[in-house]
């Protein structure tokens, strides 16, 4: 177990130590105290380490994560786990805007609310939000799953490509080319698995599914007003 106190060492030193982890190193369990909202904590990891961050983090915590499992006991600032490739970033509190932005893989969990632009430009990541998300979420979402147990704000899934969105509560409004889609048993199965992976319990029968109408994929004059 490595215990790092960010009141004692800098984020730079912490990240360097995490980047220097040799493949197969024993040092897999880390606790990080006193994050105090600092930015870029535990970014660019590429090792199967388990990090436990005790407190609130600033922008981009867990950014571009590969392999590592990062738990934040607190709230997270903007761009939580942006461009995550694999592994897990789990925040027990609320997250600011652009959580999971452009993530390619792995799992991002926000137990509380996430703000606007959650899952923007997502490219394969799975994002599970226990609370609600703000406007413009899943904008241009290309692949992966966004699960929202609470409500979603306006413009959900605007210009969405092939990502899947599941919402348990209300949707403010749908963005261009995003429509409600049929919820089949296979979809319910996927949803149940995602909730289980995230450790969040919910009634899956409440959820509705949203995805792309695929009408903006190739330009058509009749849709010009939606671009």
Partner 1 sequence: MVDERKLKRSETFPPETIAEIQRAADEGIYSIRGSGAKRRVPNFDDLILLGASMSRYPLEGYREACETNVTIGARNAKKPIELDIPITIAGMSFGALGANAKKALGLAATMMGTSTTTGDGGMTDEEREASKILVYQYLPSRYGMQPDQLRRADAIEIVVGQGAKPGGGGMLLGQKITERVANMRILPEGIDQRSACRHPDFTGPDDLQIKIQELREITDWQIPIYIKIGASRTRYDVMLAVKAGADAIVLDGMQGGTAASQDVFIEDVGIPTLPALRQAVEALQELDLHREIQLIVSGGIRTGADVAKALAMGADAVSLGMASLMALNCNAPIYIEDYEALGTKPGYCHHCHTGRCPVGVTTQDPELEARLDPEEGARRVRNYLTTLTLECQTLARACGKSHVHNLEPEDLAALTIEAAAMAGVPLAGTDWIPGHNGG
Residues that bind partner 1 (CB under 8 A): 11-12, 15-16, 19, 39-40, 43-44, 46, 58-60, 63-64, 66, 78-79, 82-83, 85, 97-98, 101-102, 104, 117, 120-121, 123-124, 139-140, 142-143, 159, 161-162, 216-219, 221, 224, 227
> How far apart are CB 179 and partner 1 at their closest, in Å?
16
Nearer to partner 1 among residue 44 and residue 48 (C-beta): 44
Residue ranges of E strands in the chain: 2-5, 29-33, 50-54, 69-73, 88-91, 107-110, 123-129, 143-148, 164-167, 178-181, 208-212
Nearer to partner 1 among residue 64 and residue 204 (C-beta): 64
User: Residue 38 and residue 109: Cα distance in Å, rounded?
Assistant: 20
Judging by DSSP bridges, how do beta strands 164-167 and 208-212 pair with one another? Answer: antiparallel
Nearer to partner 1 among residue 30 and residue 207 (C-beta): 30
Nearer to partner 1 among residue 125 and residue 198 (C-beta): 125
User: Residue 156 and residue 39: Cα distance in Å, rounded?
Assistant: 28
Contact (CB, 8 A) for 4 and 28: no
> How far apart are CB 223 and partner 1 at their closest, in Å?
11
> How far apart are CB 200 and partner 1 at their closest, in Å?
24
């Amino acid at each position: 177990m490595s215990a790092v106190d960010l009141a004692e060492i800098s984020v730079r030193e912490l990240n360097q130590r995490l980047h220097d982890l040799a493949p197969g190193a024993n040092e897999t369990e880390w606790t990080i105290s006193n994050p105090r909202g600092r930015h870029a904590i535990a970014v660019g990891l590429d090792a199967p380490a388990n990090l436990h961050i005790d407190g609130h983090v600033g922008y981009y915590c867990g950014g571009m994560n590969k392999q590592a499992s990062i738990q934040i006991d607190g709230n997270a600032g903007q761009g939580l786990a942006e461009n995550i490739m694999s592994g897990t970033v789990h925040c027990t509190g609320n997250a600011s805007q652009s959580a999971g932005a452009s993530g390619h893989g792995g799992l991002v969990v926000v137990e509380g609310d996430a703000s606007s632009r959650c899952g923007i430009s997502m490219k394969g990541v799975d994002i599970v939000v226990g609370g609600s998300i703000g406007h413009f979420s899943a904008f241009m979402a290309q692949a992966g799953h966004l699960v929202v147990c609470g409500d979603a704000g306006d413009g959900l899934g605007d210009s969405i490509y092939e990502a899947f969105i599941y919402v348990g509560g209300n949707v403010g409004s749908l963005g261009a080319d995003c429509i409600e889609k049929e919820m089949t048993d296979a979809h319910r199965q996927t949803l149940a698995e995602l909730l289980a992976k995230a450790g969040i319990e919910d009634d899956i029968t409440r959820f509705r599914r949203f995805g792309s109408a695929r009408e903006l994929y190739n330009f058509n004059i009749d849709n010009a007003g939606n671009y």
